[in-house]
Every structure is written in structure tokens, then in C-alpha cells.
Structure 1
Amino acid sequence: MLRAMPYGNDGIFTPEDFVSKLNYDLANDLGNLLNRTVAMINKYEDGVIPALNSGATEFDADLVQTANDVIKAYNENMQAMRTADALAEVWKLISRANKYIDETTPWTLAKDEAQADKLASVMAHLAAALRVAAILLQPALTRAPKQIFHQLGLAESNLQIADLKFEDLPAGGKVVAKGEPIFPRVDVEAEVAYIRDEMTGGAAKPAEETEASYIEVPTKDLIEFDDFDKVEMRVAEILEVTEVEKSNKLLRFKLNDGTKEGRTILSGIKKWYPEYAGLVGKKVAFVANLKPRKMMGEMSEGMLLSAEKDGNVILTILPDEIEAGSELG
């Protein structure tokens, strides 16, 4: 909920957005990162966190720099009471750590004994990223940071934010033999119904007593399959999100669309995503063969797909496992 309350503006809370953040930000992004890291340290390092030695892979420096930048920005935002912005910074590190796994492919390194040192370095960097994220999340999450430390075999006495440094990861910690999800995914429909019932003080009727209700869905003229087949929809990873100067609606998305050049798409969803920094690292769907058009003096090379109902707009976020550039159909 803190992430939905930008500094100086009203927060917008909906049960749907709450459950989405639980399933995607917490379960998929943070929870999955912890589960994968613990499982790989058990599999490749006999459950022991290796010593942190940066520079073993070409991706180490960027992860370390991201962590240091996040720590600095987090402290500045918290000092300015910009809690939502501070938390968005933490998710930059979490997204970067998930990407680091895809870049370093530990499962490939494990097949070559000559890459043992490099594999150990990858495991240490992932543990270090989780340690930093857990420490920074303490003001917002009261139990999860301690659970993360427990699964990593780190002492709770080290949950200190003062003088936090990425490289201060204690070596030799023994991770738990089998990690348990700290953020289990929830059933969207059931959870949303429960929250709505709580918001109305239990006034809502039980599902079995509620008459089915339907909405009028406006439809356009039917088209032939050949017309639909002309639309090319693909998957992209969000690399950067920035505001478009002099626009109170547009955000500029730098995307990895699977090509060497990438592409830029402008989208008028700023109103619904005041914490747009948290979108970095997400996989989204977009129309790839839409003719580029100029918006506010800049070219937009496609269109991001989103869902809209009752004035609320939500981007179509796809699972992390789908590769950028994949075609949808």
C-alpha cells in the first residue's frame, strides 16, 4: 500500500491493484528471486554462500553499481519522506538481480568445472542483492526481511541499515535446505472478493447469494481473420521509464524488444503509474508493426497493450520467463 501513495499526491487503492502487487511484485519478483537463489546455492555450492569477489563475470559491476545507486537514492528519498519512491528504488535492485540470473545463466556455468569460481561469484552476488533488498524493505515489510535473512542463513543482528554496503556480505552462511515461499501467490478472484467484503464491513452478500451481474461490453464490427493476422504483437522488457517533457500524460518506455536496436514507445498512462520506476524489468506486450507516429515531438514506435475498466488502466504484465522478442498470437 505504501507504494500506491506517492509523495504529495492522493493514493489510489483498489483490491485488484493490491492483489496484482502481491502476486507480481512480491511473489514473482522478490519471492521468486529468493527461491531461485536458495535452490541454486544448495545445488551448486552445497548450501554455503561463497565469498563475494566482484569481477568474475562481465555483469557483476553493473549489479554492484545498481545496488550502490539504489542505496543512495533510497536514503535520499526516505530523508525527504518519499516512501513510495524509496520502495521503487528497491525494486530496481530486485529487477536487476533477476535479470542478472538470466545474463549469467548459472545452470550453464555449472556444466563446466572450469567455471566453478565464476559460478560461486554469481551465487554470492545474488545473496548480496537479497541482503541489501531485505534491509531496505524493513520499514515497509515487518516479517519478510527476517524471513529472507533466515533462509540465507544470515544473523538478524546484521539487519542494520546504517552504513549499508553491497560488498559487506558475510561469507560462509548456510542457507536453509529447502526454501519456502514467503509470498505465496493468491487466487485473484477470491482475494479481491474478500478484500471488497472487508471494505464494506461484511455488508456484501456471500458469492452464492449474489445474483450474477453483467456489464454491457461495447463491441466493434467483426473482422476477418486475415485482418487480425496483420497485427504483430510481441513481448518486450522495460529497460527504462522516463517522463516526457511538458506532458502530464505521457511516459517514455525504452524497451528491449529482442532486436539489437530496441525501440521507444510513448504511452499515456502516467496518471495510473506515478511510481513508474517500479516497471523497470517487467515484461510487457506491445503492437510491433504499428506505424510510428509523432507524439509531443517524439516518435513512438508501437503501442503497449493494457486493460481498461471503470476508468482504471493496467498494463498487460507478462511472466518473466517469456523472452523479449517472442511473438504473441
Structure 2
Amino acid sequence: YDEELKKLALKTIEKYRTQMNNLSLNAALETIWQFIRRTNKYIDQTEPWILGRDSSQKERLSTILYNLAESIRLSTILIYPFMPVKTKEIWEQLGLKGDLEKIRLDEDASWGKLKPGVLVKPGKIIFPRIDNKKKEQEGAKEDKANIISYDEFKKIDLRVGKIVSAEEVSGTDKLLKLKISLGAET
């Protein structure tokens, strides 16, 4: 799995470079996400949490953790143009030195640039999980609050109009005075 991950990393960098040069930003992002998904699969395949319990597997565990840290480093470099704030947080937690803004794709985005023994710093969760059930419940509550009955709807006087003019109201930042034509009325 190690060689497969390394080869994909190199392929990802080249494909990303071409896509960015062609301003194919969506394609470049999809290329990054494919690499990240493969990195997640690498975690599942290598099971570092199991190797961590076996002292005879320390060297193998070190290799896996290095490969994961290197994959995260490369992903961070590639995602930086799209998510500069979050990638800086990742960079710092990886314990990497230097400004992410000064990283050059041609010089720094290649496999093996991460020095062994780097100390990963503990920190806050950068991308917290989204609880879909909780999100659905909140959405349902909002929907109920925004629903009116048919009888209430019948009482509303709805008309189609045309905005004739809009002027700022002095002393306010977000208020506009609208002049609306309803046909015969203004």
C-alpha cells in the first residue's frame, strides 16, 4: 500500500499542476479529494491503531505514520489556494516550519520532503464532523417556524409590483427606501 500511495501522490501533484495551469479549479479540487479519499483508505488498510499495540511492529507503524503525515503535508500544500486559513492551521499542527504562502509547488510538493521525526502538535479539531441527524432536526424546527396555515395565507394581500427607485435612508447602513409601482398605484 505504501508504494501505491506514493505513486498516487506524485500523479496527483502532476495532474493538479496541469489543472491549475488550465484554470480547471473544480477538477483540481476533485483531484485533491481523490488523493485524500485514497489516504483514508490507506488508514483503513494499514490499521495503525492495531500496530500501535504491538511493540514488534514499531518500525512498520513509523512508516505508516510518516506516509500519512507526508500525505497530509502534500494535501495541505495543494488545498492552500482554496482554503488558506484552514490549511495554515493544519500546517501548524503538523509542526512544520516556514510560511505556507512561500511554499512553491515545483520545489516543495514532492514525496519525501517531510523530515522524519517531526513532532505533530495537539490542537483543536480543524474539520469537526457534521451530525446529519442534528442538522435535519434543526432544519425541521426552522421549517415549522416558517410555515403558516392556509387560513392565514388567505388573509395576506399579495401584489406584484415594480421597484421604481431605491434610496439609502440617512443614518442607516442597510436600510433602503423603496418606491414601488403597483400599476395604477405608486
Instruction: Specify which structure has the higher proportion of helix.
Output: 2
**2:71 matched residue in structure 1:** 129
Larger radius of gyration: 2
- Deviations for 1:56-109, whole angstroms, at most 9, x for unmatched residues? xxx100000010010000000011110000011101111111111111111222
**1:182 matched residue in structure 2:** 126
Alignment partners' CA distance in 2, 1:107 and 1:96: 18
Q: Are 1:64 and 2:64 counterparts?
A: no
Structure 1 residue 212: Cα displacement? 6.1
**1:172 matched residue in structure 2:** 117
- Kindly report which structure 2 residues correspond to 1:64-213, keeping only aligned pairs within 5 A, or say none: 64-157=6-99, 159-163=103-107, 164-176=109-121, 178-186=122-130, 187-189=134-136, 209-211=145-147
Identity %: 33
Instruction: Specify which structure has the higher proportion of strand.
Output: 1
Alignment partners' CA distance in 1, 2:63 and 2:25: 32
Gaps spanning 5+ residues in structure 2: where?
150-186
Which amino acid in 2 is paired with 1:170? K
Alignment partners' CA distance in 2, 1:191 and 1:87: 30
Structure 1 residue 209: Cα displacement? 4.4
- Kindly report which structure 2 residues correspond to 1:11-26, keeping only aligned pairs within 5 A, or say none: none
Structure 1 residue 190: Cα displacement? 7.6
Distance 1:191 1:86, change over 3 A: farther
Q: In 2, are the aligned partners of 1:151 and 1:179 still within 8 Å (CA)?
A: yes
Alignment partners' CA distance in 2, 1:145 and 1:90: 13
Q: In 2, are the aligned partners of 1:146 and 1:156 still within 8 Å (CA)?
A: no
Distance 1:157 1:107, change over 3 A: same
Alignment partners' CA distance in 2, 1:60 and 1:128: 12
**1:235 matched residue in structure 2:** none
Q: In 2, are the aligned partners of 1:109 and 1:116 still within 8 Å (CA)?
A: yes
Structure 1 residue 140: Cα displacement? 0.7
Alignment partners' CA distance in 2, 1:182 and 1:147: 7
Which amino acid in 1 is paired with 2:146? T
Normalised by the size of structure 2, how large is the TM-score? 0.68
Distance 1:115 1:190, change over 3 A: same
Distance 1:191 1:167, change over 3 A: farther
Q: In 2, are the aligned partners of 1:135 and 1:161 still within 8 Å (CA)?
A: yes
Distance 1:212 1:128, change over 3 A: farther
Normalised by the size of structure 1, how large is the TM-score? 0.40
Distance 1:189 1:82, change over 3 A: same
User: What is the SS of the residue equivalent to 2:84?
Assistant: coil
Q: In 2, are the aligned partners of 1:149 and 1:156 still within 8 Å (CA)?
A: no
Distance 1:170 1:113, change over 3 A: same
Q: How many residues align?
A: 142
Gaps spanning 5+ residues in structure 1: where?
1-58, 194-205, 214-329
Structure 1 residue 189: Cα displacement? 4.0
